[in-house]
Structure 1
Amino acid sequence: MPNGISITDQLEPHEWSNEETAAYEAAIEAINGAVGAYSAVISAEEAKAAPDQSVIEDARAAQAQLAREREGLHSSDREQIAAARARYAQLAREVLAGIA
């Protein structure tokens, strides 16, 4: 905090319904699940006798992209939240299936 003001002090107030809160948290968890799936890819690759560094780098890049996308979620955008929940849950399954 260079000027002593936190980012949260600058946020506008927002009333969340229980439904919005649960949906937003589920979307965040879906993204976190995808990040975790890429962590499993990294771990599996690093455990190999001759790890492929490009696989590790690609997985880390995917994790960074997911972090940016997580930051871009808007709790009040129901369509975005619903799409994120479905998309990232599916992505996590696909990534994990690739290392099974």
Structure 2
Amino acid sequence: MSANNDVSITHQLPEYKWSNEETAAYEAAVEAVNGAVGAYSALIAAEEKKSEPDPGRIGKAREAQSRLARDRERLRSADAQQIADARAHYAALARDVLASVA
């Protein structure tokens, strides 16, 4: 809440109008990052099921998930190039990670 406790801080932010295209592209970029996080979850689960799991591989996967969470927070809907790059990069990353699980 604000200093006067009557208005939330989010209501004090400036208004920003998103186009339908910007909204869809941003959501797709977020989903691409989430897909990569999920791919690392699959990797972790597969590693943990092994008779001798590799703690280093699990640790690196968890670190990657944390890094991806920070990357997701840095996405800016108004930056069309960043959004396009993120969609391509994280979709490819998810495919690569999943391929390493098989």
In the superposition, the TM-score normalised over structure 2's length comes to 0.90
- Aligned partner of 1:30 in structure 2 is 32
- Aligned partner of 2:43 in structure 1 is 41
Give the partner amino acid of 1:47: K
Residue 6 to residue 88, structure 1, CA distance change in 2 (3 Å) = farther
The counterpart of 1:93, out of the listed 92, 95, 98, is 95
Task: For residue 9 of structure 1, report the CA deviation from its aligned partner.
Answer: 3.5
Structure 1: give runs of 5+ residues left out of the alignment. none
Which has the higher Rg, Structure 1 or Structure 2?
Answer: 2
- Aligned partner of 2:62 in structure 1 is 60
Distance in 1 separating the partners of 2:84 and 2:18: 16
- Aligned partner of 1:74 in structure 2 is 76
Q: Tell me if 1:50 matches 2:45.
A: no
Distance in 1 separating the partners of 2:101 and 2:67: 20
- Aligned partner of 2:21 in structure 1 is 19
Distance in 2 separating the partners of 1:68 and 1:98: 23
Structure 1 runs of 4+ aligned residues shifted over 2 Å read 3-12
Aligned length: 99
In the superposition, the TM-score normalised over structure 1's length comes to 0.91
Identity across the alignment (%):
65
Task: For residue 13 of structure 1, report the CA deviation from its aligned partner.
Answer: 1.3
Cα-Cα RMSD: 1.6
Residue 62 to residue 14, structure 1, CA distance change in 2 (3 Å) = same
